[in-house]
Chains A and B, each alone.
Chain A
């Protein structure tokens, strides 16, 4: 039963939190940027001059991955995996880190994909009315709000965990 104990050790759980934060949010951003990129390529075949504008829209769903990375990095920093020495954590503390990472990870996953779809739809605006870029950016940006809130909560949780 030693393996169970080591699996649910505080450090393992905290690392699982960091992994999920980076993994889920990164997947969301990758999917989102991919969806938007596919649509952007279509716009560019008609007018290569719109590269800058389409790139801007494609970059919007990329932030979730960064937020996930931040939370993962902060967790690793606090448990001493980075910049050591590694702390010997109680499982309950590790669990708290897991929850903090999960918040950012899960919202990052769903909002990244949703934002990518909104971005892809807004590529049509760039294709037909490039002067309306400002409005086109607002639709995907509203989706981003929830990723920002998740980042906020994850961060506040991380702040509150005493090692």
Chain B
């Protein structure tokens, strides 16, 4: 239940053995290999070592595989369902290079087909555009390649639709002696004309028409009438569409290759990750220098592999004086583990702080989440839904999804427990229905108290929880300081504050008991005096030390606001209960008639679904906030670098043990 002790690994590996070595270390999954770029920047190292030029192998295939997968997705999409799990594959199958090679070949074929489809689509687009340009002339029985004669000119033209009205142009031509302008068609943009004119009058007529917006258009590579051309284009477009369909069918026929392509993507992604690690290394002509981290408990397994490949190696425990910060890996009990994702969203603790907050944070998270939702039914719903997702999706062990859903299973349990204590079942469903619709009100008694009736009790309970968490935070700070040999700092920076905070319950209890509050005041005074005297202990000058100490005591206001911040436990706890109650009241307004029951069921289903969703969101966020700001602020040292070992991470498949 701590930060795992790391060991620095340095090894010299024969170059030929590097790939298989990295592969085996990847399967072991507990060695992080760092880039040697920093080393090469140092002169002594650069004299001996050179950057290793690893030939990249896997990267090139990945692009092709990914685009093939996308093509299959587009043309041969299989409905995968709402929650799909990864395909299970045995380790032997996963490492079968023949399958990967075959998948790459299949991907090439699919990509080639994809290119053909794209070419067909391009041609179709070109033909369709051409067809569109001819549609306006469809009604004309004059061939588009008609030639002018010796004494007459015949040509096609257009004028903008928004300009001079077409009739005006036609009249203009008619007013001339030997000219005829026929309006062929009009659309939103243009009017289309056929102009027949005596050759001698051509210039005059054209000038007159041009001034009204007329312009000549010509057709290239067209024979016959527009209608004939269009039907020709139509049949050609159909032909190409048919061709394209045939190719698409070929792609669809390869749909069964998707599984192996996805497996190949996973296999090659791992390999390209290895390539990346390799290209960051430095070495001589025959050897490579490897530097990295491994958990101390895994040294045995790593040693066996290194020995096997004839490597020279050394393990070294980092000391506090080392400048280098080792990566952080947390090891927690199975019950605590889901809560680590809450901490990770904030930050990992630093390695040197040596303090994993998760075991201390988890119980608070559990309690606070349950307190804010506090409903038997809601808890069951949350737990069942999360459990169902876990079973259906089988997310990778230790991943964010798996931990989040396990966390929700736990939080559902907490919600139900608090629901029992506060007597909440879909809010006040039982009393609302029995009273509003059945005419005889029955209530579930709360084991502890009903927060809707006694909000003050919940208010005090919230602050008590806050006080406990703040004390725990200060205690952890003291523990951390003592562990690093700074017992005096622990007393000054945490101890006196704890004494000061201890004054609150002492005073409160004596007020409740009716006795004198002297004891509480004494505790306050001891704490405050300690803070004033030692708060500024780094200052030499007694006056500035006193001022600095008084300044520290002023920090008491922040503790006050910290404790009051836990009032949100009450506010959110009430919010979920009140919304539920509002829904129930609305639902039962219709009374006990058939229509009333129908309205009730409708509002019940929609209202409570809405309440659960909106409150999970709010509760999750505010429970996290209490940990991050009020709790972690007291002792936590954020900024740890996560341990990133060579690891066979897969996206599409799940590697299972042989024989399953």
User: A residues within 8 Å of B by Cβ?
Assistant: 56, 59-60, 62-63, 66-67, 69-70, 73-74, 77, 82-83, 134-135, 137-138, 141-142, 144-145, 148-149, 151-152, 155-156, 159
Among residues of A, the one whose C-beta sits closest to the C-beta of B341 is A134
The reply to whether B575 and A151 contact each other, CB–CB distance below 8 Å, is yes
The reply to whether B345 and A135 contact each other, CB–CB distance below 8 Å, is yes
The reply to whether A82 and B624 contact each other, CB–CB distance below 8 Å, is no
Determine whether B491 belongs to the interface, using a CB cutoff of 8 Å to chain A: no
Point out the residues of chain B lying under 8 angstroms from A138, CB to CB: 621, 624-625, 628
Mind listing 17 A-B residue pairs with CB under 8 Å? A60-B621, A63-B614, A70-B578, A73-B586, A82-B585, A134-B345, A137-B621, A145-B568, A149-B568, A151-B575, A152-B567, A152-B568, A152-B570, A152-B574, A155-B571, A155-B574, A155-B578
Among residues of A, the one whose C-beta sits closest to the C-beta of B345 is A134
Cβ-neighbour of B455 out of A67, A144, A155 (below 8 A): A155
The reply to whether A156 and B614 contact each other, CB–CB distance below 8 Å, is no
The 8 A CB mask of B559-577 against A (1 = contact, 0 = none) is 0000001011011101100
Task: In the A-B complex, list the 8 residue pairs whose CB atoms are closest, starting with the nearest.
Answer: A134-B345, A152-B571, A141-B621, A148-B571, A73-B582, A70-B578, A148-B568, A151-B571
CA A62 – CA B617 in complex, angstroms?
Answer: 11
The reply to whether B618 and A63 contact each other, CB–CB distance below 8 Å, is yes
CA A145 – CA B617 in complex, angstroms?
Answer: 13
B190 to chain A, nearest CB (A): 34
CA A107 – CA B634 in complex, angstroms?
Answer: 30
Bin the interface of chain B by size.
Answer: 20 to 34
CA A148 – CA B614 in complex, angstroms?
Answer: 14
Determine whether B389 belongs to the interface, using a CB cutoff of 8 Å to chain A: no
The reply to whether A148 and B579 contact each other, CB–CB distance below 8 Å, is no
Determine whether B622 belongs to the interface, using a CB cutoff of 8 Å to chain A: yes
Point out the residues of chain B lying under 8 angstroms from A155, CB to CB: 455, 571, 574, 578
Within 8 A of A (CB), among B573-626: 574-575, 578-579, 582, 585-586, 589, 614, 617-618, 621-622, 624-625
Given A138-B625, A152-B567, A66 and B614 contact (CB-CB distance below 8 Å) = yes
Cβ-neighbour of A74 out of B345, B567, B578, B589 (below 8 A): B578
Among residues of A, the one whose C-beta sits closest to the C-beta of B578 is A70
Given A59-B617, A155-B455, A67 and B575 contact (CB-CB distance below 8 Å) = yes
Among residues of B, the one whose C-beta sits closest to the C-beta of A59 is B617
Query: 4 other contacts beyond A141-B625, A152-B568, with CB at 8 A cut-off?
Result: A66-B579, A83-B585, A135-B346, A149-B567
The reply to whether B345 and A142 contact each other, CB–CB distance below 8 Å, is no
Say whether chain A's binding surface is mostly helix, strand, loop, or mixed. Answer: helix
The reply to whether B589 and A148 contact each other, CB–CB distance below 8 Å, is no
B394 to chain A, nearest CB (A): 20
Point out the residues of chain B lying under 8 angstroms from A74, CB to CB: 578, 582
Cβ-neighbour of B622 out of A62, A134, A141 (below 8 A): A141
CA A155 – CA B459 in complex, angstroms?
Answer: 13
Cβ-neighbour of A70 out of B579, B589, B617 (below 8 A): B579
Point out the residues of chain A lying under 8 angstroms from B614, CB to CB: 59, 62-63, 66
CA A67 – CA B572 in complex, angstroms?
Answer: 10
CA A142 – CA B618 in complex, angstroms?
Answer: 11
Among residues of B, the one whose C-beta sits closest to the C-beta of A159 is B455
Point out the residues of chain A lying under 8 angstroms from B572, CB to CB: 148
The reply to whether A149 and B571 contact each other, CB–CB distance below 8 Å, is yes
Point out the residues of chain A lying under 8 angstroms from B455, CB to CB: 155-156, 159
CA A135 – CA B565 in complex, angstroms?
Answer: 20
A9 to chain B, nearest CB (A): 25
CA A77 – CA B570 in complex, angstroms?
Answer: 22
Point out the residues of chain B lying under 8 angstroms from A60, CB to CB: 617, 621
The reply to whether A70 and B582 contact each other, CB–CB distance below 8 Å, is yes
Interface hub of B565, B575, B622 (most chain A Cβ within 10 A): B575
CA A138 – CA B614 in complex, angstroms?
Answer: 16
Among residues of A, the one whose C-beta sits closest to the C-beta of B620 is A137
Cβ-neighbour of A144 out of B578, B579, B589, B618 (below 8 A): B618
CA A152 – CA B459 in complex, angstroms?
Answer: 10
A70 to chain B, nearest CB (A): 5
A53 to chain B, nearest CB (A): 13
Point out the residues of chain B lying under 8 angstroms from A159, CB to CB: 455
Point out the residues of chain A lying under 8 angstroms from B617, CB to CB: 56, 59-60
CA A144 – CA B372 in complex, angstroms?
Answer: 15
Point out the residues of chain A lying under 8 angstroms from B567, CB to CB: 149, 152
CA A156 – CA B574 in complex, angstroms?
Answer: 10
The reply to whether B575 and A70 contact each other, CB–CB distance below 8 Å, is yes
Interface hub of A60, A63, A134 (most chain B Cβ within 10 A): A134
Point out the residues of chain A lying under 8 angstroms from B565, CB to CB: 145
Interface hub of B578, B586, B589 (most chain A Cβ within 10 A): B578
Among residues of A, the one whose C-beta sits closest to the C-beta of B628 is A138
Point out the residues of chain B lying under 8 angstroms from A134, CB to CB: 345, 624
Point out the residues of chain A lying under 8 angstroms from B628, CB to CB: 138
CA A142 – CA B586 in complex, angstroms?
Answer: 31
A15 to chain B, nearest CB (A): 17
Among residues of A, the one whose C-beta sits closest to the C-beta of B453 is A159
Given A66-B614, A70-B579, A149-B568, A144 and B574 contact (CB-CB distance below 8 Å) = no
Point out the residues of chain A lying under 8 angstroms from B622, CB to CB: 141, 144-145, 148
The 8 A CB mask of B340-361 against A (1 = contact, 0 = none) is 0000011000000000000000
Point out the residues of chain A lying under 8 angstroms from B585, CB to CB: 73, 77, 82-83
B463 to chain A, nearest CB (A): 13
Point out the residues of chain B lying under 8 angstroms from A151, CB to CB: 571, 574-575
A66 to chain B, nearest CB (A): 7
Among residues of B, the one whose C-beta sits closest to the C-beta of A142 is B625
A74 to chain B, nearest CB (A): 7
The reply to whether A83 and B568 contact each other, CB–CB distance below 8 Å, is no
Among residues of B, the one whose C-beta sits closest to the C-beta of A148 is B571
CA A3 – CA B589 in complex, angstroms?
Answer: 32
Interface hub of B567, B571, B574, B618 (most chain A Cβ within 10 A): B571
B560 to chain A, nearest CB (A): 15
